[in-house]
Amino acid sequence: MTTWPFQENLIDRLSTQIEVLQDGFCRLPKTATLKDLVSQFAVVVRDLFPATNLDLFHMPERSERWEKIVESGTVGIAERLVLPQGKTASVCTLHESSNSICIAQRLVDKSYVGIVLSQKQAENRYSDVDALALRLFVYLLENAYQELLYRRNEKEMIFSLNHRVLQLNSLIDTGIEVARLDQSTSPQQLALERAASLTNAAGGLVRVTHGEQLVEEIHFPGGAPLENKSNSPSQIATKFSFAGNTYTFELYDKESRLGVQPFEETDQLLLDALARQVHASLENRYLLKQALEKQKIEQDIAVAATIQQKILPGTLPRIGGYDIAGTNIPSITVGGDYYDCIPLSDGRFVLIVADVAGKGVSAGLLVSSLHAYLNAYLERPISLVDLAQRLNRVINRASTDEKFITAFIALLTPETGQVESLNAGHNPAYWLRRDNTVEELSTGGIAFAMLEMDFQYQVQHVTMEPGDRLLLYTDGITEATNTENVQYDRHAPLAMFFASHKPDKAETFINDLIADIREFTGNAPQSDDITALYLLRH
Amino acid sequence: MEQQFSLTSEIQDNCLVIATSGYVNNVGGEAIAEEFNRHFENGIKQVVVNLAGSKVVNSIGMSFLIEIIEKLNEVDGKLVFTNLDPTVEKMLTIMGIFKFAGKEATVENGVKSFARQT
């Protein structure tokens, strides 16, 4: 192979500079920035050309100005650099004069680096070999810069991938955290913090409004008030409505190392997802609150039911020469029916069956009032009419407009069988005589608390002979409905059942009556309280 | 709610301790880097960053912290994070920060960790 003298000179030159070349290979790839790289390159070039002035420049884009990185102090040196033309063919221009070499090298990112070597002694000259050697070192610089960019891109890619993993992880974590119902931080505040962090927003806010009214406004970061960012070109927002409130999430000024930039599509997706998590959390909190309230109400109802069960007689008093039995089956936990048999100090007994309009706790409270007032008034001798009038007044005061109580009250003198009765708007009681005739006891007046006025009640007198029976009941029996929506009393009148079932024991009658009603209603739900009181004179 | 950023710094046993408060974002990260550079130029190679007052960090703030870690690693120095909120700790873990930086429960432990190394 033929070797030209020129080549031999170049090989000789490079051979003498082999250490400089090796040093360049070591130094340049370790740099992290272009500035570092060019500075290290300057060290290598100075080793290669010790007695020379060196100027190094960088031009980020064509048509911009050269930026000085290493300068010798020579004025106007950058003007000697000529940019290479074309896109790929010419990436470098090399201008040589008697005592200077200028190289403008296009780099992989389409920026340019400019190198000017000039002799310190005007009489010194650069050779062609010098120019070629420098050219080779510029290639080394170009390759090192390419490697630097690869490393930087790889680092950015790893950072970006890690950040995506972080975003997904944080989205899951935030979902779990905002779903926690025991935390002191509001879910919207937590979501705002996470949204700002994950999207690199400089700040943001959550605004809760009810119509035009501002309910709550949370700023991030807190402390100094946020300047008005409504016109910021870099902002995203999302909103949802819940329980009459509108929750608006806004993020401002997506940060980068180069300044504020527009938010990305994924930022909007993240904000939407976090807002949806808050929405779900608020719904869950609302449902939990409702469930707790319901639980509390059920507990209160259970307490009320217990109290009411204590109001109703566990066992009825024994009445010599008579047999008495009663029952109360509430349709819901707390019923509005009431019955009792109260012995008086003079040996007589008061029998009562009452029904409060409506059911539930409010009806139960009125039953309690009736029980308390009734027992209080019966502590002393009192006529049935007086008792009814007093009950009418006090129940009227204790109840709301739509509440009233119907009642049948009977005053029994056991020895004589005399019964004085008063029917306050209640179903008529049935009196069954030994001759199997049934008489309705209806005399009385209006239901208690039906009208806000004193009412002149009337009483009825009958005498129970041995074998006679008395049945007091509420409309829960007569109006018990089967699955075909037919009422018990329409199907087979209660009076007929009363007349046709005459067991020796009062309790047997009650049990038979309930069984008959159950058989009639079948699977139909019990629509009203069922109460009955049965008195048999032996 | 996370407040506006502020920091304090002190030297303990030839170790720079920076305590932050508030959102570590571009502003916060830059402030930390400036404080670090000021001491780095004077030869400080051991840094403790106490993030007790910072519950929220974004990736721009984190990029400043990474730069500090890289600079320290180039001169065989080290950065140790302390008093990390669990969320921030998880964030730094996912970003791979603890491959190049340490973490300790307290500033005292952070400063002591350098003594153990030397």
Indicate the domain borders of chain B.
6-117
Q: What residues in A contact B22, CB-CB < 8 Å? A: 221, 223
> Which class is A312-537 in CATH?
alpha beta
pLDDT > 90? residue A507: yes
Tens digit of pLDDT for each residue in A153-179?
888 888 888 888 988 888 888 888 888
Confidence of residue A225 (pLDDT cuts 50, 70, 90): low
pLDDT score, position B29: 96
Q: How far apart are the first and last CA of chain A?
A: 146
Q: Pick the most confident of A26-30, A218-222, B99-103.
A: B99-103
Of A73-77, A262-266, A325-329, A461-465, the poorest mean pLDDT is in A73-77
pLDDT score, position A93: 59
Confidence of residue A266 (pLDDT cuts 50, 70, 90): very high
Q: Per DSSP, what are the bridge partners of residue A201?
A: A254
Superfamily of domain A180-286: GAF domain (3.30.450.40)
pLDDT (mean) for A6-31: 70
Residue A406 DSSP class = E
Closest CB from A32, A166, A256 relative to B91: A166
- Please name the residues between 76 and 95 in chain B that touch chain A, using a CB distance below 8 Å: 87, 90-91, 94-95
Would an 8 Å CB–CB cutoff place B117 in contact with chain A?
Answer: no
pLDDT (mean) for B31-37: 96
Is-contact B69 B40, C-beta < 8 A? no
Q: Which residue has the higher pLDDT, B14 or A26?
A: B14
Confidence of residue A41 (pLDDT cuts 50, 70, 90): confident
Q: To the nearest whole number, what is the mean pLDDT of chain A?
A: 87
Would an 8 Å CB–CB cutoff place A200 in contact with chain B?
Answer: yes
Confidence of residue A301 (pLDDT cuts 50, 70, 90): confident
pLDDT (mean) for A484-494: 91
Chain B interface test: which of A197, A234, A251, A270 (most B C-beta within 10 Å): A197
pLDDT (mean) for A304-320: 86
Pick the CATH number of B6-117 from 1.10.3720.10, 2.30.30.100, 3.40.50.450, 3.30.750.24: 3.30.750.24
Of A96-100, A194-198, A314-318, B47-51, the poorest mean pLDDT is in A96-100
Q: Which helix (H) or strand (E) holds A447?
A: none
Tens digit of pLDDT for each residue in A410-436?
999 999 999 999 999 999 999 999 999
Confidence of residue A7 (pLDDT cuts 50, 70, 90): low
Nearest CA in chain B to A157: B95
Tokens of B98: 């603890």
pLDDT score, position A1: 47
pLDDT score, position A99: 77
Around Cβ A56, how many Cβ atoms within 10 Å?
A: 22
pLDDT score, position A323: 97
Q: Which helix (H) or strand (E) holds A26?
A: helix A18-27
Complex ipTM, two decimals? 0.92
Min distance A202 CA to chain B CA atoms (Å): 7
pLDDT > 80? residue A469: yes
Q: Measured between alpha carbons, how far is A487 from A484 in angstroms, rounded to an integer?
A: 9
pLDDT score, position A90: 42
Contacts of B9 (CB under 8 A, 6+ apart): B16, B17, B18, B19, B35, B39
Q: Measured between alpha carbons, how far is A279 from A245 in angstroms, rounded to an integer?
A: 11
Q: Which residue has the higher pLDDT, A112 or A84?
A: A112
CB contact under 8 A, B1 and A218: yes
pLDDT (mean) for A141-149: 89
Closest CB from B4, B95, B96 relative to A224: B4
Q: Measured between alpha carbons, how far is A212 from A189 in angstroms, rounded to an integer?
A: 21
Q: What residues in A contact B56, CB-CB < 8 Å? A: 193, 196-197, 220-221
**b/e string for A430-444 if b means 16 or more Cβ within 10 A?**
bbbeeeeebeebeeb
- Please name the residues between 3 and 42 in chain B that touch chain A, using a CB distance below 8 Å: 3-5, 22-23, 25-27
Would an 8 Å CB–CB cutoff place A227 in contact with chain B?
Answer: no
Domain ranges of chain A: 5-152, 180-286, 312-537
Please state the length of chain B: 118
pLDDT score, position A88: 40
Instruction: Transcribe A462-520 into DSSP letters.
Output: EEPPTT-EEEEE-HHHHT-B-TTS-BHHHHS-HHHHHHH---SSHHHHHHHHHHHHHHH
pLDDT > 90? residue A229: no
pLDDT score, position A277: 93
**CA angle, residues A219, A222, A226, in degrees to nearest 5:** 60
pLDDT (mean) for A341-360: 92
pLDDT score, position B102: 95
Nearest-10 Cα torsion for A507, A511, A512, A517: 140
Q: Measured between alpha carbons, how far is A31 from A100 in angstroms, rounded to an integer?
A: 28
* Chain position carrying tokens 């007929």: A496
pLDDT score, position A478: 95
Give the whole-number percent of chain A exceeding pLDDT 70.
92
Q: Which helix (H) or strand (E) holds A192?
A: helix A187-199
Please state the length of chain A: 538
CB contact under 8 A, A220 and B23: yes
Chain-centre distance for alpha carbon A149: 48
pLDDT > 60? residue A219: yes
- Please name the residues between 415 and 474 in chain A that touch chain B, using a CB distance below 8 Å: none
State the Rg of chain A over Cα.
51
Same-fold call for A5-152 versus A312-537: no
Chain-centre distance for alpha carbon A102: 70
Tens digit of pLDDT for each residue in B97-107?
999 999 999 99
CB contact under 8 A, B91 and A198: no
What is the CATH T-level fold of the domain A5-152, as seen in this structure? Beta-Lactamase (3.30.450)
Three-state SS at A208:
strand
